[in-house]
Structures are given as structure tokens and as C-alpha cells.
Amino acid sequence: YFKTLGKFIGPGFMIAVGYLDPGNWATDMEGGSSFGYRLLFIILISNIIAVFLQNLTIRLGTIAGLDLAAASRKYFHRYLNFFLYVLAEIAIIATDIAEVIGSAIALNLLFPQLPLPAGVAITAVDVFIILLFYNEEADDPDSPSSDSASLKMIRFFEMFVMMLVSAVGICFIIELAYSDIVAVDVFKGYLPTKEIFTDPDILYVAIGIIGATVMPHNLYLHSFIVQARCREWRSSRPHVVQQGDHWLIKTDPFRTDIKETVQEDYNEKSHTIVAVDSASSCVSRTGGLNLEAMRSFLDSSLKCNLHYGFIDLVVALTFAFFVNSAILVVASANFYYGPNNQQQQVEDLFSAHALLKQYLGPPAAIVFALALLCAGQSSTLTATLAGQVIMSGFLGMTTRPWIRRIVTRLIAIIPAMIAACVAGRSGLSNMLVASQVALSIQLPFAVVPLVYFTAKKKAMKLDLVVEAKDMNPEPVSMTQQ
């Protein structure tokens, strides 16, 4: 079980990166420093919502074999599709801006002599280097170049991101050790209080936390990257060919039999209709073909993919939940309660770093900056990949990948560079907040299509390939319940 699970671990952590980005840091820090532990309940609710939505993306990518952007292009009118594409690109740019700013701030905190514009420029270089290892065709289940070597590259990319995410978690474990925390108060924070819904200030920050947690680009990215694990399963779908009065069923060589259920006097009886020839991986049956008999064959493999994909998601988002809670707890313990119960409201990441250095000492401040750098860099990588998925899915473009990377990165870097040069720290902090507002506005335009597609029987179907005599191969669909 765990050996198989290990093959599916990866996509969930790629998605978890979006729940640890600098935008989350800003809202969690503000919530903890202003209202104590009360907003831990909102973090809990946000993660539950995220698990539900990301599970829908797993089902879309696994069953339909489409990412959210590609499904929009396939089923929506071209004008609606283009409208959604523009909104998605705006969200990607807003996300990328936040990640670039977060990394630039972290570099400035670690190296005070490094100018902020130089930090912005440095964050752009590593993306191109790391993405050289990533072959986007490897995640396309229909790509002829999709092979085991490409999957290894995908795994390398995922492992690198997991290392960065793990570094963030380790850093905040250290921060928690430095902080003076009352466990009972922390656990009470996960219980709802009426102030969250009646106090306008708390409600505003709560909405910001939800908007920063449920990231639109994750819905596009997750439905794309899960398809790499489905490639072997989709390629092993039965291919049925009619030869005279026989049906030749090419199937999985590891399958020993295929069963059908027969209704006899209101009693269901199950028996084997075909037996697999392990040498040829083919079976034959005389007479008509009962396509419904193949449902169990497809469902067994499908349920395996969905199960392990969901476990990967839950493990990764539980880790993200811990880190987000840790950020708010550290802010609450040190800034809301603080030494001698003196409340210090955090205005931005710079002031949070300065206060941690004052209260807990330089080592804690350095760990904070390192965690921010790892979070920003890992988020930058996944946001760049999500931008490629969106452009390819919505528009079906075949432009060379490196050209798209340069364009999307320049669009994100230019405004961040201008803000750093003109307004310095305050400019970057204001742009970071503005990027989260843009994401909150775009979120419904990603969630509604996702729910629509996963509820659409025409989209959520499994296909057998049936080739009758004197006919071209034709897919026969069976709806997944």
C-alpha cells in the first residue's frame, strides 16, 4: 500500500505551495497580531474548503483527462472561454507578483545591503534554471513523448518543491519553539466565536485569509499535474476490435479476468465471461459484446487513482494547515500578547521581522527570513507552471515553452521592479495586499466552471475504444458515477 502511495505523493505538495505563499504570510501575520488566536477557526475552514475544491480537480484530471483550462476550451463558447482566460491570466500575474515580492523581501532581510530591485531581479533567474528540468509534455497523457524518463523529471521537480516546502515547515517549528505559547488558548482558537461574524475588522481579515488560502491557479494546476499519474491507467483502457463473430479485447496484462453480472429471476449472478491470455494480453469472446461488463475493469483502476490522489492531497494540505496555523500562532504569541502583554500590530513583513528580532533575538529573525525565501521561491515556480497550463489549456497554443516563460515572468517582474524602485518597502507591501484582492475577485470564475464540469455527465466519462469491422475506431463512453 505505502509503496503504491509513494508513487502518487507529489502533486498535493505542489498545490500546498500555494497555501504557503507570501500572501498567506501577510494575512496570517495581520490576523494574529491584531486579533490573537481567534482566526485559527478561519484557517481551519479555509483548508476544509480547499480539500473539497482540490478533490474536484483530481476527479476532473483523472476521469475526464482534462485540466480546468482545457475543459473550458472544449465545452464553453469561444468568447466565454477567452473571457475566463483573461481573468485567469490576471490572477496568475497577481500570484506571480506576490511570490516575486515575497522572495525579494526575504533576500533583503537576509542581506540588508542588497537593494530591493536587485532582489526582484534575482528571483527571476532561478525560475528559468529550475524549469529547464521540467518537460511539460510529460504531463500530457496523449503526448507521444510522454514516457518514464519524462515522469522522472516531473518527480525531480516535485521533490525539489517538497524540499522547499519542508524547509518552511522546519523553520516554523523552530519559531514555535522560540515563542511562549499557551496550548489551551491555541486550541480554543479553532472554535468559532461570534466576534468573527459581528466585528467588521475581524471579518475583513477573515475574508482576506480565505482569499489568500484558496488560490485560483491551484485549481488549474492540480487538474493538470495529476494526469501524469493517470497516463499508465489511461493507456491500458481496453481496446476492443471486432473480428468476424469474435470480439478481441486488448486489456491490462495484470488483469486475470473480466466479470459481468447477469439478471436471472431477480437474482444477480456473476460469472467470468473472458479470461486473459497473459502472454498476449488479449482475450476474445464469441457473439455480442456487453460493454457494461467492462465497467468493473475500468472502475477498479480508476478508484485506485482517485484514492491515492486524495490521500496525497490530504497529507499535503494538512501540512499546509499546520504551517499557516504556525504563522498565526507565532504572530499572536509574540505580537498580540507579546512581552508583558503589550500588543504590537504588524503592518508588513518587514516590521514582523524586526519585532521577531527584538523579542526573540537574531536567530529567530534569520529563520523567519529563510522560511519566507523558501515559500516565495517554491510558490514562484508553481505559479509559473500554472501560467503555462492556463495559456496552453485555454488557447491551445503551441508556442515554445521558454517563450511563454519569459513573457509571463517579465509581466510579473516589471510592476514589482517599478514598485521597488519608486516606493521601496511600502510600495512592495501595498502591491502584495493588492495582489490578494485581485485573487479574491477571480476565485469564483475558477470555482464555478470547476463545479460545473465535475457535475457534467458528458465530461465525466470513461472511454472504451471499440473498433468494429470496416469501421474506424470509435470511443464508447460510460459515465463514472
Cα-Cα-Cα-Cα dihedral sign, residues 329, 330, 331, 336: positive
Q: Are residues 260 and 337 in the same domain?
A: no
The predicted pLDDT at position 467 comes to 47
Segment 141-173, tens digit of pLDDT? 444 444 454 556 667 777 877 887 888 888 888
For 10, residues 6+ apart whose C-beta sits below 8 A from its C-beta are: 154, 155, 158, 159, 162, 225, 312
At residue 469, φ and ψ (nearest 5 deg) are -65, 135
Q: Are residues 157 and 253 in the same domain?
A: no
Contact 202, 195 (CB under 8 A): yes
Q: Are residues 46 and 131 in the same domain?
A: yes
Q: What is the DSSP letter of 277?
A: B
At residue 22, φ and ψ (nearest 5 deg) are -55, -25
Quickly state the pLDDT bin for 256 (edges 50, 70, 90).
very low
Q: Are residues 245 and 381 in the same domain?
A: no
- What is d(CA 373, CA 100) in angstroms, rounded to the nearest whole number? 10
Quickly state the pLDDT bin for 40 (edges 50, 70, 90).
very high
- What is d(CA 224, CA 57) in angstroms, rounded to the nearest whole number? 8
Q: Are residues 278 and 210 in the same domain?
A: no
Q: Are residues 302 and 407 in the same domain?
A: yes
The predicted pLDDT at position 429 comes to 72
Closest among 161, 153, 140, 122 to 12, alpha carbons compared: 161
Q: Are residues 283 and 167 in the same domain?
A: no
- What is d(CA 465, CA 114) in angstroms, rounded to the nearest whole number? 60
The predicted pLDDT at position 4 comes to 73
Strand partners, 243: 246
pLDDT above 80 (res 442): yes
- The mean per-residue pLDDT over the stretch 17-32 comes to 81
- The mean per-residue pLDDT over the stretch 217-228 comes to 86
- What is d(CA 170, CA 165) in angstroms, rounded to the nearest whole number? 9
pLDDT above 50 (res 280): no
Q: Are residues 286 and 309 in the same domain?
A: no
336's grid cell: 498580540
Provide the domain limits for residue 414: 2-235+295-460
Closest among 426, 423, 416, 411 to 103, alpha carbons compared: 416
Closest among 33, 55, 60 to 456, alpha carbons compared: 60
- What is d(CA 439, CA 184) in angstroms, rounded to the nearest whole number? 34
Q: What is the DSSP letter of 64?
A: I
Q: Are residues 49 and 128 in the same domain?
A: yes
Q: Which of 84-98, 341-355, 381-395, 441-455 has the lowest mean pLDDT?
A: 341-355
CATH of residue 144: 1.10.4160
Burial of 65 (0-12, 13-18, 19+ CB in 10 A): buried
- The mean per-residue pLDDT over the stretch 387-405 comes to 74
211's grid cell: 482569499
Q: Are residues 205 and 247 in the same domain?
A: no
- What is d(CA 357, CA 344) in angstroms, rounded to the nearest whole number? 14
Q: What's the whole-number average pLDDT of the chain?
A: 74
pLDDT above 50 (res 77): yes
Structural domains counted in the chain: 2
pLDDT above 50 (res 138): no
456's grid cell: 457534467
Closest among 311, 317, 351 to 334, alpha carbons compared: 351
CB atoms near residue 371 (< 10 Å): 25
Q: What is the DSSP letter of 287?
A: S
Q: Are residues 187 and 301 in the same domain?
A: yes
The predicted pLDDT at position 127 comes to 58
- The mean per-residue pLDDT over the stretch 436-456 comes to 87
Q: Are residues 148 and 247 in the same domain?
A: no
Contact 64, 226 (CB under 8 A): no
Burial of 423 (0-12, 13-18, 19+ CB in 10 A): middle
